[in-house]
């Protein structure tokens, strides 16, 4: 498909606008307008920034780079800063203009080069291209005669008078000298200096934009700056001019990036800022004096280095740290990252292979992790299972193997993988005796992935249904439980280990899903290790439900919304993006929703668009569906708050959100009926909002699945809406 000139202009315009907020890792248009207007307090400066940014965008189009990245300003924010920098130092004339255009191009080239270079370490480009290009330009211009140093930064008051006359000037003097406490003056000046502004007023306006964009980021900006300020004070640095010297904003940007963008904002991300800032201060000072030799400023160099080093360091962690969580799915806003993370907790997309229980029906954990008998030391992460009935694991007097419910029961594969080892031929012990020569008895070891092996032991000789080298699928019968090895009574020993040897040390590994039986109730558990004496049951996937929620890319969906006697039509299509993530896109309204599906569940990762869109109704009503959920069993999940509550309701709690959530939005579903017949699954979903302790139902929906497709959503809130879906295959 050829990109028309018109759409190029659209891309450039959008890219230009968003390049302003991109500096704060944001994609907010409102925030961009705040910054854009501020850069025009010196009109020449504003023009320079815009030209450099446009230059990068146009060159990006000419080179043929990805339109999405052009449109969201990703290729332009570095050039924007370079342009502003040149505009700040020099008087604008034609040769300078040409240099700005070229500088925009160089910034783009540097951006692409650094991007390729850092990409393999999954590190961001940040503003390195800006720093390097601006150095290039400054160093080169010392040889060029037509570059005249601008004096506008020396006469701030003159400029303000020129901009807004006496009124603005007196407002400025009042604001600067009387209204603002000196500390905040430094803070706002530092914030403004990101865009080469030298007044606290400019910084103040940007800060308002920052609050509109993100409360968490605003708080982080303050935290970063003041921790640096007080640290500098502590080590005795004269810090009145940290705003003006283009170094103060390093602490602000570092704080936002680590505290809320690359890391999920929480108490620990905030605490890390307090550790990182002093380091950043030292780095800033040393780099500044290093660059003094060339009479260059460090700009955002220390911010770049700190972020790159810190991200690399946390990615080298051996074990996942639950306290400091990397943002898996970047939504370019600390609040969104946080709320999405809180809602997706436990879904853990990027984790090891799925392991289920290695049997069918209800069993009991006889010995759990760190058990009293044999699950100790290297073997502490093991589970022993038996079948019990009315509290006993045998019938009659329990004298023979056949009296034991567990004996001869089938063992099935907990996950898919290769059979790497089978030990067979060891006779069953009589009840009460153990075989200490062949400790493990008849066993099977399955490789699920590198460093994830499962071992099942004390099986019955000659009962294996697979052989070494076979590929087995989850649930495939492997062998029968026996009483071989160190087993006085028939039981199944199950452990996960990192190596393929018989009796390798155990590792902690959760069961992806299982049912915990509590009296008459069965509770579906995620990624949990069963405890001793738990009654557990393997799950059963309802395959017709799984099929119904399979949105195949290329599928076109015709949607009709019936509301108040009015019928509206929409066109949807299922796509995958370059990261192989599937999303449903509404061609009519340009809303889209990212989805995730595996063998066990379906859920919506995100929704982008208006809350009146029928796609939003689909998002809310089918937000998270577990395929193993039993009919008539309720299943609940939290929603990401920002997608349920209106902006004005989350605004105030956003500040506290990293520490405590006042608002909650809860999704629950119940499968009302699921028949073998292809034509009926009915799901009821309820959506609750909770403010403090007050909980209320805000909407309710009934989803009808016919012929393995969602065909109807009946939505009830204040008014009733019905959405009908019909499917076509494009290919």
Partner 1 sequence: MEKKKFERPVIKKVQIGMPSKFGLKSEYAPIKEIDGVPVKDLIQQYGSPLYVFSEKTIRETYAEAYKAFSTRYPKVQFAWSYKTNYLNAICKVFHREGSWAEVVSGFEYEKALKNGVPGNQIIFNGPYKTKEDLVTAIKNHSYIHIDHYDEYYMLIDIAEELQLRPQVAVRVNMDTGIYPQWSRFGFNYENGEAWDIVQRILISNKMDLVGLHCHIGTYIMVPWAYSTAMNKLIDLFLGIEKKFNKHLQYIDIGGGFASKNTLKGAYLPGTDTCPTFDQYADSITSTLINSSINIEHLPTLILETGRGLIDDAGYLLGTVHATKRLPDGKNSYITDIGVNLLFTSFWYDYKITPAQEFGPYTEESVVYGPLCMNIDVLREYVQLPPMKKGDHFVISRIGAYNNTQWMQFIMYRPNVVLIDTDKKTHIIRKKENYETFAIQEQIPEHLK
Q: Which residues bind partner 1 (CB under 8 A)?
A: 359-363, 387, 389-390, 405, 408-410, 412, 465, 473, 475-477, 537-538, 540, 673, 675-680
Residue whose CB is less far from partner 1, 315 or 473: 473
Residue whose CB is less far from partner 1, 182 or 361: 361
Minimum distance between the CB of residue 476 and partner 1, rounded to whole angstroms? 5
Place of tokens 């699950």: 375
Minimum distance between the CB of residue 473 and partner 1, rounded to whole angstroms? 6
Residue whose CB is less far from partner 1, 242 or 387: 387
Residue whose CB is less far from partner 1, 213 or 494: 494
| 618 contact partners, CB below 8 Å, separation of at least 6 | 584, 593, 710, 713, 723
Q: Residue 723 and residue 562: Cα distance in Å, rounded? A: 6
Minimum distance between the CB of residue 432 and partner 1, rounded to whole angstroms? 22
Residue whose CB is less far from partner 1, 313 or 521: 521
Query: DSSP letters along 467-480, please?
Result: -TT-EE-TT-EEEE
Token pair listed for 560: 């009709």
Identify whether the C-beta of residue 511 lies closer than 8 Å to the C-beta of residue 383.
no
Residue whose CB is less far from partner 1, 390 or 719: 390
Minimum distance between the CB of residue 338 and partner 1, rounded to whole angstroms? 39
Residue whose CB is less far from partner 1, 27 or 712: 712
Token pair listed for 468: 């070494």
| C-alpha to C-alpha distances, 731 to 134, 582, 597, 708, nearest whole angstrom | 50, 17, 22, 19
- Please state the separation of Cα 408 from the chain's center in Å: 46
Write phi, then psi, for 393 (nearest 5 degrees).
-100, 10
Minimum distance between the CB of residue 519 and partner 1, rounded to whole angstroms? 12
**Parallel/antiparallel/unpaired status of strands 417-423 and 492-497:** unpaired
Residue whose CB is less far from partner 1, 66 or 675: 675
Residue whose CB is less far from partner 1, 396 or 432: 396
Residue whose CB is less far from partner 1, 676 or 692: 676
Identify whether the C-beta of residue 268 lies closer than 8 Å to the C-beta of residue 324.
yes
Residue whose CB is less far from partner 1, 660 or 676: 676
Minimum distance between the CB of residue 477 and partner 1, rounded to whole angstroms? 5
Identify whether the C-beta of residue 18 lies closer than 8 Å to the C-beta of residue 8.
no
Q: Residue 554 and residue 366: Cα distance in Å, rounded? A: 50
Q: Residue 401 and residue 457: Cα distance in Å, rounded? A: 16
Minimum distance between the CB of residue 660 and partner 1, rounded to whole angstroms? 42
Side-chain half-sphere exposure of 98, counting CA atoms within 13 A: 5
Q: Residue 465 and residue 204: Cα distance in Å, rounded? A: 73
Minimum distance between the CB of residue 440 and partner 1, rounded to whole angstroms? 23
Minimum distance between the CB of residue 683 and partner 1, rounded to whole angstroms? 14
Q: Residue 505 and residue 514: Cα distance in Å, rounded? A: 24
Residue whose CB is less far from partner 1, 422 or 515: 515
Paired with 514 in beta bridges are: 525
**The CA-based dihedral angle spanning residues 280, 286, 288, 290, taken in that order and rounded to the nearest 10 degrees:** -150
Minimum distance between the CB of residue 395 and partner 1, rounded to whole angstroms? 9
Question: Which of 508, 507, 525 lies closest to 516, judged by CA?
Answer: 525
Q: Residue 285 and residue 43: Cα distance in Å, rounded? A: 32
- Please state the separation of Cα 487 from the chain's center in Å: 46
Token pair listed for 501: 């040897």
Identify whether the C-beta of residue 456 lies closer than 8 Å to the C-beta of residue 494.
yes
Place of tokens 């193993």: 628
Minimum distance between the CB of residue 475 and partner 1, rounded to whole angstroms? 6
Minimum distance between the CB of residue 390 and partner 1, rounded to whole angstroms? 8
Residue whose CB is less far from partner 1, 159 or 708: 708
Identify whether the C-beta of residue 70 lies closer than 8 Å to the C-beta of residue 60.
yes
**The CA-based dihedral angle spanning residues 73, 76, 80, 86, taken in that order and rounded to the nearest 10 degrees:** 180
Minimum distance between the CB of residue 360 and partner 1, rounded to whole angstroms? 5
Side-chain half-sphere exposure of 446, counting CA atoms within 13 A: 30
**Parallel/antiparallel/unpaired status of strands 601-608 and 592-597:** antiparallel
In terms of residues, how long is the chain?
A: 731
């Amino acid at each position: 498909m050829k990109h028309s000139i018109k759409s190029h202009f659209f891309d450039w315009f959008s890219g230009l606008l968003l390049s302003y907020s991109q500096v704060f890792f944001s994609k907010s248009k409102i925030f961009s307008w705040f910054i854009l207007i501020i850069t025009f307090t010196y009109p020449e400066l504003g023009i320079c920034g815009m030209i450099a940014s446009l230059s990068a965008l146009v060159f990006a189009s000419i080179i043929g780079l990805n339109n999405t990245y052009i449109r969201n300003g990703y290729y332009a924010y570095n050039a924007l800063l370079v342009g502003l920098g040149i505009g700040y130092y020099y008087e604008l004339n034609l040769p300078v203009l040409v240099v700005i255009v070229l500088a925009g191009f160089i910034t783009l080239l540097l951006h692409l080069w650094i991007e390729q270079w850092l990409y393999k370490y999954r590190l961001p480009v940040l503003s390195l291209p800006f720093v390097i290009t601006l150095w290039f330009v400054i160093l080169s211009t010392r040889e060029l005669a037509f570059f005249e140093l601008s004096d506008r930064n020396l006469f701030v008051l003159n400029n303000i008078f020129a901009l807004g006359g006496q009124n603005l000037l007196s407002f400025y003097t009042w604001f600067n000298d009387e209204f603002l406490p000196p500390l905040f003056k430094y803070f706002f000046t530092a914030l403004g200096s990101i865009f080469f502004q030298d007044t606290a007023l400019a910084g103040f306006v940007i800060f308002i934009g920052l609050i509109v964009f993100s409360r968490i980021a605003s708080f982080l900006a303050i935290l970063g700056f003041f921790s640096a300020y007080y640290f500098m004070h502590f080590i005795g640095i004269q810090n009145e001019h940290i705003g003006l010297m283009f170094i103060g904003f390093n602490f602000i940007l570092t704080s936002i990036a680590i505290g809320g963008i690359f890391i999920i904002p929480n108490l620990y991300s905030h605490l890390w800022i307090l550790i990182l800032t002093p380091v950043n201060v030292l780095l800033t000072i040393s780099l500044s004096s290093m660059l003094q030799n060339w009479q260059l400023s460090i700009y955002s160099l220390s911010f770049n280095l700190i972020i790159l080093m810190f991200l690399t360091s946390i990615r080298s962690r051996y074990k996942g740290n639950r306290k400091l969580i990397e943002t898996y799915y970047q939504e370019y806003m600390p609040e969104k990252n946080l709320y999405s993370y809180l809602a997706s907790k436990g879904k853990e997309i990027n984790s090891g292979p799925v392991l289920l229980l290695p049997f069918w029906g209800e069993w009991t954990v006889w010995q759990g992790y760190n058990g009293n008998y044999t699950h100790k030391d290297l073997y502490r992460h093991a589970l022993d299972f038996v079948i019990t009935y009315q509290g006993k694991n045998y019938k009659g007097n329990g004298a023979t193997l056949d009296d034991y419910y567990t004996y001869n029961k089938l063992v099935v594969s907990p996950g898919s993988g290769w059979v790497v080892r089978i030990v067979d031929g060891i006779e069953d012990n009589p009840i009460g005796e153990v075989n200490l020569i062949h400790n493990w008895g008849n066993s099977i070891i399955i490789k699920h992935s590198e460093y994830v092996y499962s071992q099942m032991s004390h099986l019955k000789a000659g009962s294996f249904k697979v052989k070494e080298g076979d590929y087995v699928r989850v649930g495939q019968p492997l062998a029968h439980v026996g009483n071989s090895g160190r087993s006085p009574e028939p039981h199944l020993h199950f452990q996960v280990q990192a190596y393929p040897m018989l009796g390798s040390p155990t590792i902690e590994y959760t069961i992806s899903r299982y049912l915990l039986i509590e009296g008459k109730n069965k509770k579906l558990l995620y990624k949990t290790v069963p405890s001793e004496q738990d009654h557990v049951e393997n799950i059963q996937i309802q395959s017709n439900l799984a099929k119904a929620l399979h949105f195949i890319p290329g599928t076109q969906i015709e949607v009709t919304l019936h509301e108040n006697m009015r019928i509206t039509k929409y066109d949807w299509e299922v796509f995958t993006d370059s990261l192989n993530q599937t999303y449903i896109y509404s061609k009519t309204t340009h809303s889209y929703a990212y989805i995730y599906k595996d063998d066990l569940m379906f859920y919506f990762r995100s929704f982008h668009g208006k809350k009146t869109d029928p796609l939003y109704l689909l998002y809310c009503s089918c937000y998270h569906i577990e395929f193993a959920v039993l009919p008539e069993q309720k299943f609940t999940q939290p929603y990401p708050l920002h997608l349920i509550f209106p902006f004005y309701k989350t605004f105030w709690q956003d500040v506290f959100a990293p520490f405590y959530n006042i608002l909650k939005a809860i999704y629950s579903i119940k499968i009302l009926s699921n028949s073998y017949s292809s034509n009926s699954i009915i799901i009821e979903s309820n959506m609750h909002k909770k403010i403090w302790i007050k909980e209320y139902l805000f909407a309710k929906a009934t989803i009808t699945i016919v012929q393995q497709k969602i065909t109807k959503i009946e939505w009830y809130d204040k008014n009733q809406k019905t959405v009908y879906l019909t499917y076509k295959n494009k290919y």
